[in-house]
A and B are shown apart, each in its own frame.
Chain A
Amino acid sequence: MAGVDVVLQVLIWGLYAGCIYILLATGLNLIFGVMKVVNFAHGELLMLGAYITFTFYALSGWNPYVLLGASVPLLIIVGIIIERLCFRPILGTGKLNEIFISIGLIYIVQNAAAIVWTDEWRIIHSPYERITISVFGVNMPLDYLIIIITTALILIGLHLFLRRTRIGKAMRATSQNRNGAMLMGINVERMDMLSFGIGAGFAGAAGTLWVVSGQVFNPYMGSIPAIKAFAIVILGGLGSIPGAIIGGLVYGIAENFAIFTLGGAWKDAISFIILILVLIVRPTGLFGESAE
């Protein structure tokens, strides 16, 4: 029964879901690359991005895509605050501590959001909600196309930033060799702050895109996408940004095929099955060099 058009349909859903995962995973990877810490509370930043978009939309009524201009800078600030207050003091005290401090952060951010915005499920409607376009004979919501293009633009922007600008080069240097970078006069602590900020900003962008695509959200929705994003990071190899992009696409598509074939209950589980299979075969991820 699965004709070509159905496969294409699922592929497009997967591509769209993959975009949000890619943004989260790239942010995580950027932070990991520079600081060598994993922020398990990354999904809470996505959730904050979603709520900031929601609030500004309710206040201004502007096109929600424009609100990327609000959620990203605000999340960069939140990211910098989190880095300074929570992650910097424990830098180098053991990897389990990072996980544990993230758990604390998850509780703080989720429930602070529940106090501010209540824990009801929210939704906003994109102005292009009813418009679909035809791609290879399959109907695709215009929103999905915009999201895919936006994500691509953001990633190109990141690429240019890392390759062409002085700060971007300094960040790459820090991620390759922290001590060496320090000796070259790079302020590595500022790089930490910056990478965490940009990573958080990416999560904010993912939050806005999540909201405009018409997905529901509440203060507790962030954990699962974040955990998946982390699984993608592992899948693609820690610290490898191309790995995160390919991993994100594979994930989004695999997840949507699982929903289609096994039923909606398997949406979350399938990602972990993939992750576990990958880890059994290749404990360092598909594109990673070494975990040690």
Chain B
Amino acid sequence: MIDLNKTLGIGSKKGRLFGIIVLLILAVILPLIFGMNLFLLTILVLMVIFIIYASSWNFLTYTGQGSLGHAAFFGLGGYVSALIATASGLSPFITIFIGGGAAALVGLFIGVICVRLKEWFLAMVTFGFAIIIQTLIVSQFASISGGWDGIAAPRLVSTTIPYYQLIEYYSIVLIAVLIILLFWIILRSKIGLAFAAIRENEMEARAAGIDPVRYRLFAFLVSAYFSGVAGALEIHNLGYITPEIFGVDISFWPIIYSISGGLGTLAGPIVGTIVITVLWDGLRMLGITYARFVIIGVLLVMIIIFLPKGLISLPENVREFIEKRRKSS
């Protein structure tokens, strides 16, 4: 029997509900407390976008897949959305979903090649695709993509509207909540059970009449789509896009966020993104530059070795540890 709680995240129902409410309240009031502190607002917006991105990446791991090249989808969503919004004058609120669609199309193509590959092979091929797409953008499509210089993208909310940054922030939060809700609905449904069955034991899943290839492909499609949406959100927030968006860092961040939070759970990428972002920007404020990469790297290695289920399992581990101590004394 597959424990649904495991797929969804933190232990008890009460704890989960409490966590969600606290997070939502914080998301709403934080920018109000700090007023119009632009620096903080920028960090918050990026954090929420990366929560979407990390959650989408993490969606793949439910079927036991992994990708080292999600920057391909993140960047494609951004480019397509920016180009369409500029050419047609459509609101970025519409074009981000078209950008996601383009990412999903490419994702489907990559997925068809990848679904039968495993682990390292899959990792390599996805990594390779990010580089191939970057190369295409700077060479073959340079005339429309602006080559290495990139292109400008319209802001999500026009800068002429008062408090446009706040409006942007709240709309991105809303989109993030809706996407994560959608993930939750998918994972609660039969599809989620099929995912878990495939991840745990592909042979048995097949024997039970589940077609692993179809479900893997579906996970790839969904993951690519929402990574594209996240990418589009980011570039409309920044106001420009360059091929740097396909870089290795952009591929690795969602992995770092998801692992440090807890792989294969809904709460994991959210918790991971928040903790790592706070740590990251906190260290920057202390004036630490290269060393913070080292710190994040050490943290990642230690989490993989000592906390294989991520930070969200920390309270549980601490509780177990205390109970063990009490029993022995």
Contact = CB atoms under 8 A, between A and B. Distances in A.
B147 to A, nearest CB: 10
A101 interface: yes
A93 B117 CA distance: 19
Contacts of A112: 290, 294
Interface residues of B, number: 42
B287 to A, nearest CB: 14
A99 interface: yes
B304 A272 contact: no
A273 B132 contact: yes
A223 B127 CA distance: 11
B105 interface: no
A216 B157 CA distance: 44
Interface residues of A, number: 44
Interface SS, B side:
helix
B68 interface: yes
B135 A269 contact: yes
A108 B298 contact: yes
A103 B256 contact: yes
Contacts of B296: 107
Given A103-B300, A272-B131, A291 B255 contact: no
A115 B291 contact: yes
Nearest to A89: B305
Interface stretch (A12-20, A160-168, A176-184, A260-268): A260-268
A158 B121 CA distance: 27
B128 interface: yes
A283 B116 contact: yes
Nearest to B252: A103
B124 interface: yes
A58 interface: no
B131 A104 contact: no
A100 B304 contact: yes
Given A100-B255, A269-B135, A223 B297 contact: no
Interface string B135-160: 11011000000000000000000000
A99 B116 contact: no
A275 B131 CA distance: 13
A100 B259 contact: yes
B3 interface: no
B138 A265 contact: yes
Contacts of A126: none
B291 A95 contact: no
A223 B69 CA distance: 14
Given A90-B305, A97-B304, A275 B290 contact: no
Interface string A110-125: 1110110001000000
B121 A234 contact: yes
A96 B301 contact: no
Contact of B301 (A105, A114, A271): A105
A111 B293 contact: yes
A273 B125 CA distance: 9
A276 B299 CA distance: 33
B119 A101 contact: no
B291 to A, nearest CB: 6
B284 to A, nearest CB: 14
A227 interface: yes
A112 B305 CA distance: 21
B125 A104 contact: no
B309 to A, nearest CB: 11
Given A103-B252, A272-B131, A283-B116, A108 B297 contact: yes
A10 to B, nearest CB: 20
Contacts of A86: 301, 305
A100 B290 contact: no
A269 B138 CA distance: 12
Given A268-B135, A291-B118, A107 B294 contact: yes
Nearest to B292: A111
A203 interface: no
B297 A107 contact: yes
A104 B135 contact: no
Contacts of A101: 300-301, 304-305
A110 B208 CA distance: 47
Q: Considering the complex of A and B, which 8 residue pairs feature the smallest CB-CB distances, nearest first? A: A272-B128, A107-B297, A108-B297, A104-B300, A111-B293, A269-B135, A104-B301, A95-B119
11 contacts: A40-B123, A95-B120, A97-B308, A100-B304, A101-B301, A101-B304, A104-B304, A105-B301, A275-B128, A276-B125, A283-B117
Interface of A: 38, 40, 86, 89-90, 93, 95-97, 99-101, 103-108, 110-112, 114-115, 119, 223, 227, 230-231, 234, 262-263, 265-266, 268-269, 271-273, 275-276, 279-280, 283, 291
Given A96-B263, A227-B127, A231-B128, 9 more contacts: A97-B308, A100-B255, A100-B259, A107-B293, A107-B294, A107-B296, A108-B293, A110-B293, A223-B248
